[in-house]
Amino acid sequence: MPIRFTDKFAFGGETPPIIMGAKKANAQKMGEALTKVQDEHNGRLRPRDVWQAARDPRNALHRHFQWNKDRAAEKYWDQQARAIIHWIVRVPENEDEPPRRAFLSIMDNGRSYRSINEVMDSLDLQLQLRKEGLRGLTAWKNRFNELEEICRLVGVAEGALAADIASRAKAKPKGKGPGRPRGRPRKYQEEARA
């Protein structure tokens, strides 16, 4: 039997940093405003429709947008930069291997991107990336929890990744500084020698 939901709204997860006035936000009013926009557009909720409705200062969403065009442009440029960073891949030396993202987003003293080579050379960065992957799997599972079969399969992957993180964290050699000792995984060391 499918889950039924009330008309009560709440915030889920961490507050996105891009939301203006988040500390004074009212989830119920925001949810109702989003529902109104959806109703006005035949059941479809699209970002452009949301911000256009929010232009009205009486709209509950209005104060959560950056209306200063210069600042809004900078935020948009940040999004464009992220898209460019995500778009670029590195081609491996071995042509049988598929290209991989050139830069990986990692939470390391704030969110930043690190080169794939730097991540491959750093045990600490690899562990951090695995931890973020686990958080992402858990968030995905929570988002789609009504799809029980899929979530069961994701739960298996989640458990395996958590076990991998725990074993790597215990086995990590003590070194000096972040990512020490450095070195590519054995597979890449052997390929480099060949």
- Spell out the per-residue pLDDT of the chain, length 194, in tens: 455 667 888 887 667 667 888 888 899 999 999 999 999 998 899 999 999 999 999 999 999 999 999 999 998 998 888 888 888 888 888 888 888 888 888 887 778 888 888 888 889 988 999 998 888 888 888 877 777 777 777 888 888 888 888 888 887 665 544 443 444 444 444 444 44
169 in the same domain as 104: yes
Q: What is the pTM of this model?
A: 0.58
135 in the same domain as 183: yes
Report the pLDDT value the prediction gives residue 174, as an integer from 0 to 100.
59
Report the pLDDT value the prediction gives residue 70, as an integer from 0 to 100.
95
> Is the preceding peptide bond at 181 cis, omega within 30 degrees of 0?
yes
Report the pLDDT value the prediction gives residue 56, as an integer from 0 to 100.
97
What is the distance between the alpha carbons of residues 53 and 36, in angstroms, rounded to a whole number? 10
Residues 11/27, Cβ–Cβ less than 8 Å? yes
What is the distance between the alpha carbons of residues 16 and 30, in angstroms, rounded to a whole number? 15
Which of 42, 67, 92 finishes a domain? 67
48 in the same domain as 125: no
Would you call 85 helix, strand, or coil by DSSP? helix
User: Does residue 81 sit within a domain?
Assistant: no
User: Does residue 91 sit within a domain?
Assistant: no
User: Does residue 163 sit within a domain?
Assistant: yes
What is the distance between the alpha carbons of residues 141 and 18, in angstroms, rounded to a whole number? 24
What is the distance between the alpha carbons of residues 181 and 186, in angstroms, rounded to a whole number? 13
| Residue reference for tokens 């500390």 | 23
